[in-house]
A and B are shown apart, each in its own frame.
Chain A
């Protein structure tokens, strides 16, 4: 997280343009939120219209989200040479698992990065586990 999904009609973008768009979206997101670049994912898919969907962590205020949308549409559109529409959605950090552990809340990224578990064998001791299988009665 965040995950930005850029959809354009087939053959609208080439590799160079996609790279430039990925970099500008990363820059915009990091400048506005303070999140590290390693958090920012950008995907490109084919579809009927030029759209961007930004899946971001919950807890961002409306003004920041508005600025994200405005800048992404403007700057991505300038690179691609076409107009984009954009919408966002938000997910609680507690419901995101990345790098072997639960994602940090906005503003807690540096502490999270500072305790990065070792890549091999990591993850089992870094978070609570349920005592056993959990069943819900319907």
Chain B
């Protein structure tokens, strides 16, 4: 039996309860809409201020690491990643362009 999808949100700084809830709810909806999967795990990792660098300088970026079912069409993957970036940006009031998303095909265990 396949494990439910897992998302890791690498947050630049702190993230409050309301934003976490919005992201979990949003990821649940997106995963259900795009892949018919309704159970998932979301982990939030707060990277303290001053500990995330881009181009060797303090960064504003955040990142969502997820996966998609093996064989997902690229167009679907891109739409999914774009939606996640917008969800995260809206929930955390950050710039959409500072949100990175990774969604490779899920490894078969």
Contact = CB atoms under 8 A, between A and B. Distances in A.
Interface in B27-57: 33-36, 45, 47, 50-57
B75 A130 contact: yes
A44 B78 CA distance: 29
B69 A136 contact: yes
Nearest to A24: B56
B96 interface: yes
A15 B48 CA distance: 12
Nearest to A55: B102
A119 B97 CA distance: 7
A40 B55 contact: yes
Contacts of A45: 45, 47, 51
A42 B53 contact: yes
Interface size class of A (residues with CB under 8 A): 35 or more
A122 B96 CA distance: 9
A99 interface: yes
Interface of A: 1, 3, 15, 18-19, 22-23, 26-27, 36-38, 40-45, 91-92, 94-100, 102, 119, 122-123, 127-130, 133-138
A-B complex: 7 closest residue pairs judged by Cβ atoms = A22-B53, A97-B81, A95-B104, A23-B56, A37-B55, A44-B51, A97-B101
